[in-house]
Chains A and B, each alone.
Chain A
Amino acid sequence: MERQYGDFEIVGENYLSYEIKVPKRKTFREWIKEKPYISISVLLIIIVGCVFPGIITKSAPAYMDLSNTNVAPNSTFYFGTDSLGRDIFTMIWYGGRISLFIGVFATVISTTIAVIYGSISGVASELIDDMMMRFTEIILSIPSILIIIFVQAMIGQANPVSIAIVIGITSWMNISKIIRSEVRQIRNSEYILAAKCSGASFFYILKQHLLPNFISAIMFMVVTNVGSAIGIEATLSFLGIGLPLEIISWGSMLSLAEKALLSNYWWIILIPGIFLVSTLVCITNIGDYVRRNNNKEFSNL
């Protein structure tokens, strides 16, 4: 039906008449095609295997079979054994559990810090905001690996929780910067004012109004942070200042690599590394998908 205008006419760019597209129902194939399904399924396999390692393998990860050290992959030891005689196939799954735990836990810590710090900085007055942002810039300008080494050296002997905390408190800066600029944009809007007038506390506003607004903007960084935390843990453990050899993770498995290098035991180096890398690639892919999804215009419905 065409619209009839009487005495007045609506002009200006605000008045746009366009058709509202009704999204077509997608078939399952179409729906799955836009998701990074390969990454998701590979990651899912790794996660399930690591959370329930008992299903896949029956032997204990720390069992040292000293008569079978440095055995190349064969039918009993699918991935071979390391120089302490431990079965790498078993260790992969048990070690993955700790690696994934560190990744997730470190991200939870860093995101919490980032959310609180970023929102305080966003709602604070100009001066305080400036100071807080200078502070993050100073920390950002120091190589993060150096900070981590420094904090780790202070703490001393590492365990999974302490290493996750160290990684968490050294990797929140980027997220908090994004949150701060998002909060700056919405802090003067009416609904925040209304909430303030009715006596809402800072944390209530944060939870009810700020968080839903910036959550999509930081989501992809959160996902990629999980990956980078796993990577940092592996790097630290490999370099000998992370997890000790007894606590099995992908990183500490690789810390045997330097001895393995000289005698050309490739499986000790390659296999944990391939697991590590494929996990990281999957996580990055998913993070990328999340970011692309967020850039899409949301429907007004």
Chain B
Amino acid sequence: MSYYGEGVERMTTTQKVQAMENLGLNGPLYKQYINWLSNAVQGEFGISYKYKQNVTTVIGDVYKNTIVLGGLGYVLTFLFALLLGIFCTLHEDKLIDRIICKVGVVTTCIPSFWVSLVLILIFGINLGMLPSSGAYAMGQANNLVSRLEHLILPLVVLIISHLWYYTYMIRNKLVEEIRRDYVLLCKVKGLNKKEIVCKHCLRNIMPSYISIMAISVPHILGGTYVVEKVFSYPGLGTLSFESAKYHDYNMLLVLCLLTGTVVVFINMMAQIINDKIDPRMKHDRSENDWNDNTATLK
């Protein structure tokens, strides 16, 4: 249906049967799936019904955009989360910390698509400062400034909607850490607050920080998908929404496969890095860690 678009209504029955035959849509569902699977193993992912091209070529055109947006958002989110977490710990229970906490809780509640709408309304329409859709202005695909301009709003939304989640975790860990005995020793030695937190406490929370980073990949990736759609930024997210809308199952299957693979791969990498940083982690695996995180989430 999505292959022929509007034309479906004009087709005769025989044409329809013929079309079904061509696209391999006859036969029961499980047979189609096995068919797809056996092709996929051989690197044949079939064609996208909507774009009438190989799925791999369609994805090949846009995946870089998602990597740029998601990657930048990921790095910046964790950078800011770390800085804000340290800042909150240094000013624990002071007015500024409490204000940040309250605002942070509110930002996690706001759905990211609404933040993007409001930001587009303010900056895109009313002030006219920033472009609000696409990845670059017409015919300026290689213009770096234009690309950056288009990245600002999606990035801001991505960061706003995920920042507090991680800042809160880091703040909790740090606040726990500065109650330890060695911090007192450092204080006696005459180190100032900043030095203690940055040099000693941070090193101790690093393993859990990294495992949080690994767990958060699907979270931020999911966020990227929504943001991409709102800003109609050509990337995997927009693609997956489009293919869901037009019942482009081949595309959707491949996108799920791709995302899953990336996530599993990154999780494995995080495990390896963790083992390197802190050999203690090898014994009590991520089980405890994960429970900790879910308790501190929200």
Q: Is the interface of A mostly helix, strand, loop or mixed?
A: helix
* CB of A125 to closest CB in B, whole Å: 17
Contact B252 A287, beta carbon cutoff 8 Å: no
Nearest CB in chain A: distance from B118 CB, A: 7
Residues of A within 8 A of B267 (CB): 141
Kindly identify, within residues 211 to 237 of chain A, every residue whose CB is under 8 Å from any CB belonging to chain B.
220, 224, 227, 231, 234-235
Residues of B within 8 Å of A276, CB to CB, are 111, 114
Say if the beta carbon of A40 comes within 8 Å of chain B: no
The verdict on A264 contacting chain B, using a C-beta distance below 8 Å, is yes
- Asked if residues B244 and A141 are in contact (CB atoms below 8 Å), the reply is no
CB distance from A141 to the nearest CB of B (A): 5
**A148-179 CB contact bits vs B (8 Å, 1 = yes)?**
01101100000000000000000000100110
Interface string of B231-256 (1 = CB under 8 A from A): 00000000011011101010010011
B222 to A144, Cβ gap below 8 A?
Answer: yes
Shortest distance in angstroms between A149's beta carbon and chain B's nearest beta carbon? Answer: 5
A241 at the interface (CB under 8 A from B): yes
Task: Identify which of A142, A174, A270 contacts B263 (C-beta below 8 A).
Answer: A142
Residue total for B at the interface (Cβ-Cβ under 8 A):
44
Beta-carbon contact of A241 and B241 below 8 Å: yes
In the assembled complex, which residues on chain B have CB atoms less than 8 Å from the CB atom of A143?
Answer: 218-219, 221-222, 225, 259, 263
Please name all residues of chain A whose beta carbon is closer than 8 Å to the beta carbon of B124 when the two chains form the complex.
261
Interface residues of B in 100-159 (CB under 8 A from A): 105-106, 108-114, 117-118, 120-121, 124-126, 132
Check A231 against B245 for contact (C-beta < 8 Å). Answer: no
Tell me the nearest residue of chain B to A145, going by C-beta: B222
Q: Tell me which of B125, B252, B290 contacts A149 (CB under 8 A).
A: B252
| Chain A interfacial residues counted at CB < 8 A | 46
CA of A142 to CA of B125, assembled, Å: 35
B110 and A142 contacting across the interface, CB-CB below 8 Å = no
Say if the beta carbon of A110 comes within 8 Å of chain B. Answer: no
Q: Is the CB of B121 within 8 A of A149?
A: no
Is A210's CB within 8 Å of the partner chain B?
A: no
| A249 CB within 8 Å of chain B | no
Q: Which of A27-35, A49-57, A196-204, A277-285 contacts B (4 or more CB under 8 A)?
A: A277-285
Cα distance, A149 to B236, chains bound together (Å): 13
Q: Which residues of A contact B117 (CB under 8 A)?
A: 254, 257, 261, 269, 273
Contacts of A140 in B (CB 8 A): 218
With A140-B218, A153-B244, A284-B108 known as contacts, the answer to whether A266 contacts B121 (CB < 8 A) is yes
**Docked complex Cα distance between A137 and B109 (Å):** 24
How far is B121's CA from A145's CA once the two chains are assembled, in angstroms?
Answer: 25
From A141, A150, A284, give the contact of B298 (CB < 8 A). Answer: A284
Given A152-B244, A264-B126, A273 contacting B109 (CB threshold 8 A): no
For the complex, what is the distance from the CA of A81 to the CA of B124, rounded to whole Å?
23
Does A239 belong to the interface (CB within 8 Å)?
Answer: yes
- Across the two chains, which residue of chain A brings its CB closest to B120? A261
Q: How far is B105's CA from A224's CA once the two chains are assembled, in angstroms?
A: 12
Binary contact readout A267-301 vs B (1 if CB under 8 angstroms, 0 otherwise): 00110010011001101110110010000000000
Q: Does A20 contact B (CB under 8 A)?
A: no
Cβ of A59 under 8 Å from chain B: no
Nearest A residue (CB) for B229: A239
CA distance A130 to B199 in the complex (A): 38
- A181 on the B face (CB < 8 A): yes
The answer to whether A254 and B114 touch across the interface, beta carbons within 8 angstroms, is yes
**Looking across the interface, which residue of chain B has its beta carbon closest to that of A283?**
B109
23 residue pairs from A and B, CB less than 8 Å apart: A140-B218, A143-B218, A143-B221, A143-B222, A143-B225, A146-B222, A146-B240, A149-B240, A149-B244, A150-B256, A153-B245, A153-B247, A235-B111, A235-B112, A239-B113, A240-B245, A261-B120, A261-B124, A264-B121, A266-B121, A273-B118, A284-B298, A288-B298
The residues of B with any CB-CB pair to A shorter than 8 Å are: 105-106, 108-114, 117-118, 120-121, 124-126, 132, 218-219, 221-222, 225-226, 229-230, 240-241, 243-245, 247, 249, 252, 255-256, 259-260, 263-264, 267, 290-291, 294, 298
B-binding residues in A (CB < 8 A): 138, 140-147, 149-150, 152-153, 174, 177-178, 181, 220, 224, 227, 231, 234-235, 238-241, 254, 257, 261-262, 264, 266, 269-270, 273, 276-277, 280-281, 283-285, 287-288, 291
